[in-house]
């Protein structure tokens, strides 16, 4: 195994992790601040991708599509918060799971109704297409580097927003004692709608960026949602820092596992059996990591409520 291959795989893991972070950050914010389990977060990811694909197809510009994805996902988030989610804050988690699961079905069938069942076309903008040479001889797609860049920017932005602004102060206060900040005169309903729309916009951004790499189709959000839940459980529920560390841990573990495990089994078995066994083990690797972390730290790595 060459160094170039290893560097490329590390970058792949980082890029995958950063994409997961965009999903997990919104999910953990919503869970941390509002105590709400939002299964429909994957649908907002899908809304972002479809908005981007359809606007890009209509205007020919990926960048307008990207802006549309943010706007559409944030709007969809605000609307479902006001219509549905607002009624769920005082209910127990089972009711929240049921209601947001219903939202997944509504979003999926609604999208199928509007766009049909065939995947949409969405391509990478010309500015970011192609690959660049990295030090060490490896080549890497520019677009994936850009995704990593956007992820880092969002992480820094969220850190500043939560740590340095008045809004962030209220979000933190809402996390630790929501009744008290209501009593202090903060409009908690608007704050919740705002946080929900912010989380939704991040999911929509992830959907649009990933949609250009993968296929834009109904149901694309659910596999990512499961991984995002793994991330916030590992990172500690409600913690942005935990979401970042958890995402990168999951991204790198999954990528390196998929590549190193079959190779490791290849040393002792014939190639085709090793490929099968390695692939099977690699697909459960992140869940093994999650189980180990929870065994040592049941509240996750950086729980906001520890």
Partner 1 sequence: MKTILSAGLLGLSVAFAGTAVAEPVKIGMITTLSGGGAGLGIDARDGFMLAIEQAGNDEIEVVIEDDARKPELAVQIADKMVQSDKVDLMTGIIWSNLAMAVVPSVTAQDIIYLSVNAGPSALAGAGCSPNYFNVAYQNDNFHEAMGKAANEEFKKTFIMAPNYPAGQDSLTGFKRFYEGDLAGEVYTKLGQTDYAAEIAQIRASGADSVFIFLPGGMGIAFTKQYAQSGVDLPLLGPAFSFSQDVLPAIGDAALGVKNTASWAPDLDNEANKAFVAAFQEAYDRLPSVYAAQAYDTANLILSAAGKASVEDKEAFRAALKEADFESVRGNFRFNTNNHPIQDFYVREVVKVDGTLTNSIVGTAFTDHEDAYASECNM
Q: Which residues bind partner 1 (CB under 8 A)?
A: 1-2, 4-5, 8-9, 12-13, 15-16, 108, 112, 117-121, 123-124, 129-131, 138-144, 210, 212-220, 223, 255-256, 258-259, 262, 271-272, 275-276, 278-280, 283
DSSP category for residue 60: S
Do 151 and 19 touch, CB atoms closer than 8 A?
Answer: yes
Nearer to partner 1, 36 or 252 (CB): 252
Shortest distance (Å) from residue 274 CB to partner 1: 9
Do 52 and 213 touch, CB atoms closer than 8 A?
Answer: no
Shortest distance (Å) from residue 243 CB to partner 1: 19
Shortest distance (Å) from residue 1 CB to partner 1: 8
Nearer to partner 1, 30 or 209 (CB): 209
Distance between CA atoms of residues 58 and 36, nearest Å: 36
Shortest distance (Å) from residue 117 CB to partner 1: 4
Distance between CA atoms of residues 158 and 275, nearest Å: 40
Distance between CA atoms of residues 282 and 61, nearest Å: 38
Nearer to partner 1, 3 or 160 (CB): 3
Shortest distance (Å) from residue 142 CB to partner 1: 8
Which pair of structure tokens corresponds to residue 203? 């999911």
Torsion region of 238: left, alpha or beta (phi above 0 gives left; psi -120 to 50 gives alpha) = left
Distance between CA atoms of residues 223 and 230, nearest Å: 11
Shortest distance (Å) from residue 146 CB to partner 1: 11
Distance between CA atoms of residues 83 and 59, nearest Å: 31
Nearer to partner 1, 26 or 251 (CB): 251
Shortest distance (Å) from residue 18 CB to partner 1: 12
Do 299 and 305 touch, CB atoms closer than 8 A?
Answer: yes
Distance between CA atoms of residues 199 and 73, nearest Å: 9
Nearer to partner 1, 7 or 75 (CB): 7
Nearer to partner 1, 40 or 120 (CB): 120
Nearer to partner 1, 75 or 260 (CB): 260
Torsion region of 43: left, alpha or beta (phi above 0 gives left; psi -120 to 50 gives alpha) = alpha
DSSP category for residue 125: -
Shortest distance (Å) from residue 199 CB to partner 1: 22
User: On the CB side of 156, how many CA atoms lie within 13 Å of its CA?
Assistant: 6
Nearer to partner 1, 63 or 121 (CB): 121
CB atoms within 10 A of CB 220: 22
């Amino acid at each position: 195994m060459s160094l170039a291959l290893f560097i490329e795989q590390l970058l792949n893991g980082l890029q995958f992790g950063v994409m997961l972070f965009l999903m997990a950050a919104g999910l953990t914010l919503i869970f941390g601040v509002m105590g709400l389990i939002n299964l429909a977060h994957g649908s907002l990811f899908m809304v972002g991708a479809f908005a981007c694909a359809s606007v890009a197809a209509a205007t020919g510009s990926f960048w307008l599509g990207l802006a549309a994805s943010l706007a559409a996902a944030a709007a969809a988030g605000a609307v479902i918060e006001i219509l549905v989610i607002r009624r769920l804050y005082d209910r127990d988690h089972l009711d929240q799971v049921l209601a947001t699961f219903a939202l997944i079905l509504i979003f999926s069938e609604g999208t199928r109704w509007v766009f049909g069942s065939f995947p949409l076309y969405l391509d990478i903008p010309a500015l970011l297409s192609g690959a660049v040479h990295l030090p060490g001889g490896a080549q890497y797609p520019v677009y994936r580097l850009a995704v990593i860049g956007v992820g880092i920017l969002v992480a820094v932005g969220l850190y500043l927003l939560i740590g340095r602004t008045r809004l962030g102060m209220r979000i933190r206060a809402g996390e630790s004692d929501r009744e008290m900040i209501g009593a202090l005169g903060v409009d908690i309903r608007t704050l919740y709608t705002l946080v929900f729309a912010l989380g939704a916009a991040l999911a929509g951004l992830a959907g649009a960026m990933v949609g250009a790499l993968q296929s834009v189709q109904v149901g694309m959000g659910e596999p990512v949602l499961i991984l995002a839940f793994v991330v916030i459980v590992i990172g500690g529920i409600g913690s942005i820092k935990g979401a970042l560390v958890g995402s990168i841990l999951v991204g790198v573990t999954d990528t390196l596992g998929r590549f190193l495990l079959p190779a490791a089994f290849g040393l002792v078995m014939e190639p085709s059996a090793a490929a099968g066994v390695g692939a099977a083990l690699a697909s459960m690797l992140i869940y093994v990591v999650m189980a180990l972390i929870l065994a040592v730290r049941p509240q996750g790595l950086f729980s906001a409520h520890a």
